[in-house]
Amino acid sequence: MAFIVVEEGESLESALRRFKRRVQQEAIIKEIKKHSIYFKPGERKRMKEAQARKRMRRRMKRERELEY
């Protein structure tokens, strides 16, 4: 559970920005979205494989860029 302590004299906007950043760091939104939809086991497996292919393509692209 993400929480922040609002400092004395701190504006509400800055406290809200800190809270949003904390929520992103703890990946709370990602976890909620992950559990909000049910995927069949086969569909989940296909999505996981697609993500792995995507990561591999990015890694290969970066390696090719570093060679030059």
**Is 80 exceeded by the pLDDT of residue 68?**
no
For the stretch 8-64, pLDDT in tens is 999 999 999 999 999 888 888 888 888 898 999 999 999 999 999 999 999 999 999
Amino acid at site 66: L
Q: Rounded to whole angstroms, how far apart are CA atoms 35 and 19?
A: 22
Tokens representing 59 are 């890694």
Domain ranges of the chain: 1-37, 38-68
